[in-house]
Amino acid sequence: MLDLNGAGRVLENWAKWSRSMQGRAGCTASLYMSPEERLQAGATCGLKSVNEEEAVRADAILAIVPESMRVLIKRHHLLRDDPVWTCRRLRLPLVDYRHYVTRAETVFLDRWNEMLLTPTKMIRYLALNNSTTLRRDSTRKRVVSHA
């Protein structure tokens, strides 16, 4: 079980791992790839200080975190954007920026602890099934099929 400090450490580890991948957003290019596919694609980070297994798991957990929280975590930990710019972009009050980041980290922590015994591959599967576009498309097909 992680605590809030441990969640910050895991997210920093994930950010290092994601930054070492190609592209600025790192994790988005390989969001639906398995760890084996990432290694075959040459997406290994090669950093000795990064726990790659933990980073892959954090990436999978982030896929099931609500989008608003996920975006804030990415902007804060991965992209390290200026808080003023992030608040303006996400329409958050600058005074409460640290509170919102802590809340997003807490949601990540809750998901991490909730999925403690769940294999990473299963978490990724849950994230795919929880995709908004997938739900929207399948709902449309169901409505049309019952009309």
Give the C-alpha separation, 97 to 80, whole Å: 13
Give the C-alpha separation, 88 to 79, whole Å: 16
The tens digit of pLDDT for each residue in 63-119 reads: 889 999 999 999 999 999 999 999 999 999 999 999 999 999 999 999 999 988 888
Residue 25 pLDDT greater than 50, yes or no: no
Residue 41 pLDDT greater than 60, yes or no: yes
The residue type at 24: R
Q: How confident is the model at residue 121 (pLDDT cuts 50, 70, 90)?
A: confident
Q: What are the phi and psi torsion angles at 118 (to 5°)?
A: -85, 130
Looking at per-residue pLDDT, the higher value among 59 and 146 belongs to: 59
Q: Is 0.85 surpassed by the pTM of this model?
A: no
- Considering only CA atoms, give the Rg of the chain: 17
Residue 38 pLDDT greater than 80, yes or no: no
Identify the DSSP state of 23: S
